[in-house]
Amino acid sequence: MPLDKPEKNPYRELMEQVNLTPEARERILTNVQQADLSPQAKKVVPLRSKQQTWRRWASLAACLVVVVAAVLAVPQFRGSDNDTTPPQLTGTPFHQVDTLAALSDAVGFPVTEPAALPFDPVNTAYTAYDEGTAEITYTGPDSQTATYRQSLGTADNSGDYTLYEDTQVVPENNATLKGQDQRYTLALWTDGTYTYSLRLSSALSADAWQALLDGPAP
């Protein structure tokens, strides 16, 4: 009865087909014997408690509320150079009158009109603010507007808090122009007793503003 052939070691069969030096063969056998081939226990990550999860989401919600509130508040502090709506003196009581004389009586000093306008007005509105500012709003063709203000003192009375990129002083009129790209929509000036401001819906160059403030030639 023939004897069963001894079962060969698969590793030794593989190694017999590989041409290795004795030193390399011994090094490989040593590394295999020293290797830790036992199954590794799975690392268990503890689950967050319900209280920890609730606190995390509450913090995220609070941060979101702060961010949204900040975004909504930005437009209140930054104006738009493209906004053609004349600004109002918010929080100040006012009333409208029908004539320039009535406006002067309401504010307590003689109100003068601008020397010139860039358009022929088709409608004029007179507004007296209780804190002593006179306002005249002129409306022209194609919805053009010009808002003129006069008040006692030398403080800025325009009520316009837009962060303009460009400012320029017109020495002949001692007026400060505000706008962007060398075109201006707001002019401020004072004669030492009264402060004046004129805001236009359409921007003008500095030369056009100077001609406007000088008024028509006699």
Spell out the long-range contacts of 30-37 with Cβ–Cβ below 8 A and sequence spacing 24 or more: none
pLDDT (tens digit per residue) in 170-196: 988 889 999 999 999 999 999 999 999
What is the value of pTM for the model shown? 0.59
Residue 176 one-letter amino acid: T
Res 94: pLDDT: 84
pLDDT bin (cut points 50, 70, 90) of residue 145 is very high
For residue 65, what are its two tokens? 């509320």
Res 91: pLDDT: 47
pLDDT bin (cut points 50, 70, 90) of residue 78 is very low
- Domain residue ranges of the chain, discontinuous segments joined by +: 94-213
pLDDT bin (cut points 50, 70, 90) of residue 54 is low
Cα angle at 48 between 42 and 49, to 5 degrees? 130
Query: Residue 84 above 60 pLDDT?
Result: no
In this prediction, residues 96-103 reach a mean pLDDT of 96
Distance of CA 18 to the CA centre of its chain: 72
In this prediction, residues 19-41 reach a mean pLDDT of 60
